[in-house]
């Protein structure tokens, strides 16, 4: 069975075609700047990268481009679209409605649409992707949706309710939802395998650190999420590439008043101009900040110190929530590659019994590895994330169940 995994954004459409017989990636790519000028499709297949600049005015046209890239020319990996058995879509916000992946039907699309106010940038784009896939592939190819929020749906009330008047939870469903759930789910499942506990996760306590452009940390007890750092939106938690993470809420009203900013201007400032970029003034990319820090840039050094400190606070807080910790996972761009941050975070966790093997830590770049010493009370792992394979596996499972 071949599954096409889709991540549709407002102006982009990322895809991966996966052969589920051996979970091999046959092709992957991205349509960029959909509906804007200078659109293009980048297609990686057969060991080569093909970039085509061409107007792409909407998501249906993007799917047509993907279809052509997969079936025609040098980058072709299948003879015909009929070889694709199902499509799996990433959806950011499943709210309290979707606690697991589901096959798409009209009620599911309506449900995703009803959550648009909670994810105004993402959910409408996902619906465009779902409808465009239907246009191009037809209704005989089942579509499945996999939600970023679903893994977090096991959180207890005390972790997900914010301490504003309760009526806002009732009126607007304002609560912590959490994001990156598909990534946390993948690395947690892999960690349980490494701990030899995948069949019996009861009693395990895991802290999963997804550190990328956007970052979140999740506390997992018995294989189920009990708390996570992102909240109503992916702005909450600790500092990220361009996002502030948590701060004293009065900072928001104070800056807005002083600078005369509207709510949406404030939203833009906190989401796009803050975090590592806002502090360093250099870049949102951790590699650039590292280079500036090495050259002595004090604000870049401060940005790194703040990041490491804030990660440590979350890990320590979640160790308290879990009443202990068996394993800490590092994943995503920074978590998988930035050895210095891992070392700084783990050094501050010796009270938990964390002992890092510095040589292993230095060697673990983008590869799965246990980086704690054999006598460490807490195992520390680098586990490269793979959200696409989770989406493809859920899609295959649901489609096979449907066929029974
Ligand atoms: P996204 O959240 O957009 O998926 P990533 O998970 O790729 O992003 O993380 C991007 C961050 O990871 C950037 O700050 C980047 O500097 C860092 N990063 C990615 N790859 C590497 C690498 N090979 N070495 C060091 N840092 C990396």
Distance CA 86, CA 1 (A): 8
pTM (2 decimals)? 0.95
Instruction: State which ligand 1 atom lies nearest to the alpha carbon of 289.
Output: 16
Q: In whole numbers, what is the pLDDT of the chain averaged over residues?
A: 96
pLDDT of amino acid 340: 97
Query: Per residue in 279-332, pLDDT tens?
Result: 999 999 999 999 999 999 999 999 999 999 999 999 999 999 999 999 999 999
Q: Is the CB of 214 under 6 A from ligand 1?
A: yes
- At 242, is the pLDDT very low, low, confident or very high (cuts 50, 70, 90)? very high
Instruction: State which ligand 1 atom lies nearest to the alpha carbon of 366.
Output: 23
Query: Per residue in 264-276, pLDDT tens?
Result: 999 999 999 999 9
Given a cut of 90, whether residue 404 has pLDDT beyond it is no
pLDDT of amino acid 403: 87
Please tell me the residue having the least CA distance from ligand 1 atom 3: 213
Q: Is the CB of 337 under 6 A from ligand 1?
A: yes
Q: Is the CB of 12 under 6 A from ligand 1?
A: no
Give me 175's structure tokens. 């609560």
Catalytic residue numbers, as ranges? 148
For ligand 1, pick from 286, 300, 383 the residue to mutate: most ligand atoms within 8 Å of CB: 286
Given a cut of 90, whether residue 121 has pLDDT beyond it is no
- SS3 labels along the chain: CEEEEEEECCCCEEEEEEECCCCEEEEEEEEECCCCCCCEEEEEECCEEEEEECCCCCHHHHHHHHHHHHHCCCCCCCCCHHHEEEEEEEECCCCCCCCCCEECCHHHHHHHHHCHHHCCCCHHHHHHHHHHHHHHHCCCCCEEEEECCHHHHHCCHHHHCCCCCCHHHHHHCCCCCCCCHHHHHHHHHHHHHHCCCCCCCCCCEEEEEEECCCEEEEEEECCEEEEECCCCCCCCCCCCCCCCCCCCHHHHHHHHHHHCCCHHHHHHHHHHCCHHHHHHCCCCCHHHHHHHHHCCCHHHHHHHHHHHHHHHHHHHHHHHHHCCCCEEEEEHHHHHHCHHHHHHHHHCCHHHCECECHHHHHHCCCCCEECECCCCCEEEEECCCCHHHHHHHHHHHHHHHHHC
Give me 124's structure tokens. 């409408």
Residue with tokens 């489609």: 399
Please tell me the residue having the least CA distance from ligand 1 atom 18: 333
Given a cut of 90, whether residue 120 has pLDDT beyond it is no
Residue 343 main-chain phi, psi, to 5 deg: -65, -45
Distance CA 230, CA 234 (A): 5
- At 124, is the pLDDT very low, low, confident or very high (cuts 50, 70, 90)? very high
Q: Is the CB of 333 under 6 A from ligand 1?
A: yes
**Domains (ranges, CATH) in the chain?**
2-147 (3.30.420.40), 198-387 (3.30.420.40)
Dmax over CA atoms of the chain, in Å, equals 63
For ligand 1, pick from 30, 212, 335, 386 the residue to mutate: most ligand atoms within 8 Å of CB: 212
pLDDT of amino acid 260: 98
Q: Is the CB of 332 under 6 A from ligand 1?
A: yes
pLDDT of amino acid 265: 97
Query: Per residue in 158-217, pLDDT tens?
Result: 999 999 999 999 999 999 999 999 999 999 999 999 999 999 999 999 999 999 999 999
Q: Is the CB of 183 under 6 A from ligand 1?
A: no
pLDDT of amino acid 328: 98
Instruction: State which ligand 1 atom lies nearest to the alpha carbon of 288.
Output: 16
pLDDT of amino acid 348: 83
């Amino acid at each position: 069975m071949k599954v096409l995994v889709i991540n549709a954004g407002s102006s982009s459409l990322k895809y991966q075609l996966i052969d589920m017989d051996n979970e091999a990636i046959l092709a992957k790519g991205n349509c960029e700047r959909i509906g804007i000028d200078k659109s293009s499709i980048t297609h990686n297949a057969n060991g080569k990268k093909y970039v085509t600049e061409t107007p792409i005015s909407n998501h249906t046209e993007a799917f047509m481009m993907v279809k052509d890239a997969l079936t025609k020319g040098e980058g072709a990996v299948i003879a015909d679209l009929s070889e694709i058995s199902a499509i799996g879509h990433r959806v950011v916000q499943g709210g309290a409605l979707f606690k697991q992946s589901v096959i798409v039907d009209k009620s599911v699309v309506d449900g995703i649409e009803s959550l648009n106010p909670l994810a105004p940038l993402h959910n409408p784009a996902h619906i465009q992707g779902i409808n465009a896939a239907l246009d191009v592939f037809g209704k005989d190819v089942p579509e499945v949706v996999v939600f970023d929020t679903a893994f977090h749906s096991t959180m207890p009330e005390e972790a997900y309710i914010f301490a504003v008047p309760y009526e806002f939870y009732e009126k607007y469903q304002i609560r912590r939802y959490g994001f990156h759930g598909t990534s946390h789910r993948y690395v947690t499942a892999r960690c349980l395998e490494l701990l030899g506990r995948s069949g019996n996760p009861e009693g395990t306590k895991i802290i999963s650190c997804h550190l990328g452009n956007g970052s979140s940390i999740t506390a997992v007890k018995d294989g189920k999420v009990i708390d996570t750092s992102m909240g109503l939106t992916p702005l909450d938690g600790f500092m990220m590439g361009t996002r502030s993470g948590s701060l004293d809420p009065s900072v928001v009203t104070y800056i807005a008043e002083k600078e005369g900013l509207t709510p949406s201007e404030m939203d833009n400032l906190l989401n796009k101009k803050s975090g590592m970029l806002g502090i360093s003034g250099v870049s949102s990319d951790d590699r650039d900040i590292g280079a500036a820090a090495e050259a002595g840039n004090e604000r870049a050094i401060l940005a790194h110190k703040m990041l490491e400190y804030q990660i440590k606070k979350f890990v320590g807080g979640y160790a308290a929530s879990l009443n202990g910790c068996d394993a800490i996972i590092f994943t995503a761009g920074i978590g998988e590659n930035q050895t210095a941050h891992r070392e700084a975070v783990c050094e501050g966790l010796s009270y938990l019994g964390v002992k890092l093997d510095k040589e292993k830590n230095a060697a673990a770049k983008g590869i799965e590895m246990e980086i704690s010493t054999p006598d460490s009370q807490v195992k520390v792992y680098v586990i490269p994330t793979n959200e696409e394979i989770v989406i493809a596996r859920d899609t295959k499972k649901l489609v096979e169940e449907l066929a029974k």
